[in-house]
Structures are given as C-alpha cells and as structure tokens.
Chain A
C-alpha cells in the first residue's frame, strides 16, 4: 500500500527473506509474516508505483453492445438482508440517501432521485474478478469526481472510502481508492446496469465502478462516501474488507 514500505525495510527484507523463500514454499500452510510483510509486499509496492507511472489517466477499454455478457453473474454478497436494507428496498430506495462526509469542505447527502437528475455517464466495460472470470456490462451513474468537486475535498484528503450496507458475519463491507482513481472520468457511482435500475444482486441502489481495478474494489450497496487522510483508522487498516480479511492487494490494478 502507499507508503507502507520504506527503502530500509525493502533492503532488509530482500536480504533476510531470501533465505526463507525455500522454507516458506515447502512448509505451505505455515504463514511467515516476516517474509510476507518484507519480501512479498515488494510486488504490491512495485505494481502500484509502476502502474501509476505507466497507466496514468488512460481510459479502460469500452466495448460495443455486441460484446456484452448474455448473463452477468453476481458475486460476493447478493443481498445485505438487514432489516434496514429490506425496508429501503421495499420502498424502492425512495428513503435512501447517500452520505458524503469526512475530510470535505461541506458534507452533503443525496437521494437517488437527486443522483439520477445529475449529468450521467454510461459505459460498457469489462468486470474482472480476482478469481479469473470476466463479464462485460453497461453501467450508468454519476462520476464520483463530480460529487467530490461539489462537496470539496480538504487539502489533506488522500483516499476515498466507501461504506456499504452489506456485511460478512457482521463485519461491514468497505473499500477505498486513491484520488487518481477517484477523479478518473470512468469512476462512477452507478445506479443502473444494462439499462435497468441496479438489481439487489448487483448492489442496489448504488455501487462503485472503478474500471481499472478488479471486482472486489467495485463496492456494492454504497451508503456513505468518506474522504480520509489515512486508511489505518478504518476496519483493520488494510483499506478494504477483503484486504483485511484475506490479505488481498489494496491496489487491485493487477
């Protein structure tokens, strides 16, 4: 993750970790935190830096309608199932509001109707799951950058965090991205998929589309958007539910 590795840690890790490579490989389930934190994390650091350098503000590929998946499978949670969510869903999300707060100049909240009334963007893009499958769908929503400009970021804001209505065994889902992706023109808070209002399975009423990263970054059931300076205060500090729970890369461009 950004700033998580210092040069000294890198060098110490390469030197000391080299000898434990063979060991870690063969002992399998035995988890070696030193090797993980000091050697294998070099890859994440390199991937993030290299991609920020190479990818810049390039747009993700957009596809013609003929390339769309006939069936776009769901993944992760397919229904938050909480009483509060059930109530919102029963009312077609008329009482739902998106909260935007944290390190912003003027916190605000938006109803679904207000978001739909704003200028929208529609894009047909490929959703790449970390597991290896891909599906192509059409997303319509508000550019996240537009909303962030409306509320105004404070100068020390570095990350945008998405708090969601769904949870895994009581641990709420959340995700976060840096400001490069937050202000990327294809980064949407999408309320429609394939020309229909977003279904519950795909994250109704609102989900994130951050097209140059993997599926687990595409947070569903977004309730609150928070601007923060560091990620350490949220969840277990990894920047997302799967990052905390299973050690997935925070930067999921690879």
Chain B
C-alpha cells in the first residue's frame, strides 16, 4: 500500500477541498534536506575547484596550450565567459567582480558563490571530497529505500499513458500557463515532475558521481572503463560541470514551482510529510 492509498482511506470523509494527505515519508524527507545541504556544499566547493583552472576541454588531454570549449577569464578590467567562439562580457559577475572593500577580484566565480569564499583550492577539495561521501551515501540509501518500498515505482515512474506525446504536450502547456493540478489530481506528481525527479535521481546524480570518480587518477587505474565511457578525463570534467549546471537549473525551477504552487504548503509537506490538496475551485 502506498502512502497515498493509505491516506485516501483515512481522509475520505473530509471535504475534498480541505483534504490533507500524508505525502512524504520520513526517509524521503530526511534525504531531501540532507541532499539539499550536501548539493549546496558540493556546488559551492566545486565552483572554487573550477576557479583553479577555469577552462573545459574535450578529449584525453586538455591544458592551456590546447583548445578549450569553455573559458571564464579576464582581459584586464573585463571579465568574460567564452563558449566555443562566442564571448560575452560578464564583468561584475564572472572573471572580474567586486570583492570586499572595493577590491577587484579576478577569479572565475565570485566569492559569494564559492566555499571557501577566498581562493583556496586545497580547502575546497577538502570540502568537496569529504561531502562527496555523504552525497554518494545519500543517493545509494535513496535508491535502496525507494526501490524496496516501491516509492520510485508507484510515485515516480510515469505510466505509458502519461508518456504519450499528447499527454506530455498537455503537461507542458499547463506548466507554461501556470495551471497546476488541483484536488484529486494533486495527489500525484504530474508527468514533467516525475521525469524531472527521475532525471535527477537516475541520470544527473549518477553521472556526477561517475564523472567525479573519472577525474581521480587512482580510480582510473582501478576502473579504466570510467575513462573509456566518458572519452577522457578532460571530457569527464566537462560533463561534470555541465551536470552541475543542470542540477542548478533543476533547483531553480524546483524552487520556482514551489513558490508558484504554494510555498508554505509545499515546504510544510517536506517537513511534516502532510500536504493539503489545493481546492478544485480556487
């Protein structure tokens, strides 16, 4: 029996508009907040590690004399981001930014986005490579819990009907028009939501872990397939960065949706587990 089934029988007497359902079980809630904190640390320390060499490459080797497909840098007063042959001025944010007390700093990512906040590659690696263990432990626990208590199968896996192009298009339209599920329909995640969560849990986070391991010379000796899969350590580093940015994109959209749908109800549901179904006619 899923949590939703169980709650359906508990609250069936309540008027539909006021229904409170038990939406998130304790392991899910603990994982959510632990993961939120760990991902924040991983992102901010990762950006500091990137600052040590703010260029990305494809292939088996990649260093300053080689062609980089992405670079953040400065040409004197101006900060820039270059992707391929396109360069944009990012002065004030990337490459050149205002540090404490009118100082002009020239690291790629600004101090308010990094851990530690002043240039410290060794310190950032300590944070990143320690919290990486928590990051991995958390997702492995989530997979084990989620697959064994059927949370992933019942709540996250879209049905064949939900995957029909017409249904997905309808879902995209609803999101674009900020039309969110009400009443009974709000019991379940919608299709885009399911795909986003599955994408994070089974694609982005595993890719982050594997590309992270592929940057370790020790792991490459133990598991040479890591390098074969990604086509080189510089490629793995590029994919690691891209996945990090996609995770940032996910978090931004996630927070936007929480804000639009009802921040108090949504945040409460991730703390207490209880979610008030939005009324049919609001």
Contact = CB atoms under 8 A, between A and B. Distances in A.
A132 B221 CA distance: 18
B73 to A, nearest CB: 14
Interface in B106-129: 111, 115-118, 120-123, 125-127, 129
Contacts of A131: 52-53, 121
Interface stretch (A66-74, A169-177, A199-207): A66-74
A42 B137 CA distance: 14
B234 A134 contact: yes
Contact of A69 (B55, B66, B118, B127): B66
B174 interface: no
Contacts of A69: 61, 63, 65-66
A129 to B, nearest CB: 7
B218 A133 contact: no
Contact of A59 (B55, B133, B221): B221
Contacts of B44: 25
Interface string A127-144: 011111111100000000
Contacts of B130: 39-44, 46
Contact of B216 (A44, A67, A253): A253
B92 interface: no
Interface string A56-98: 1011110100011111110000000000000000000000000
Contacts of A46: 130, 133
Residue among B116, B118, B130, B221 with the most chain A CB within 10 A?
B221
Contacts of A136: 60-61
Contact of B222 (A41, A51, A71): A51
Contact of B125 (A56, A129, A249): A249
Interface residue tally of chain A, by bracket? 35 or more
Q: Which interface residue of B50, B126, B224 has the most chain A CB atoms within 10 A?
A: B126
Task: Name the residue among A25, A63, A71, A130 with the largest chain B CB count within 10 angstroms.
Answer: A25
B219 A55 contact: yes
Contacts of B123: 36, 247
B132 interface: yes
Contacts of B49: 132
Contacts of A242: 122
Contact of B221 (A42, A61, A246, A248): A61
Contacts, number: 144
A80 to B, nearest CB: 23
A70 B139 CA distance: 40
Contact of A25 (B41, B53, B122): B41
Nearest to A60: B221
B140 to A, nearest CB: 14
A29 interface: yes
20 contacts: A28-B118, A29-B117, A29-B118, A39-B130, A43-B129, A46-B130, A55-B219, A55-B221, A56-B222, A60-B217, A60-B221, A63-B60, A69-B63, A73-B64, A130-B52, A134-B232, A212-B218, A246-B122, A248-B125, A253-B219
Given A126-B60, A130-B121, A213-B218, 9 more contacts: A21-B41, A28-B116, A28-B117, A29-B116, A40-B130, A51-B218, A61-B224, A247-B123, A254-B129
Interface of A: 21, 25, 28-29, 36, 39-44, 46-47, 51, 54-56, 58-61, 63, 67-73, 126, 128-136, 211-214, 242, 246-249, 252-254
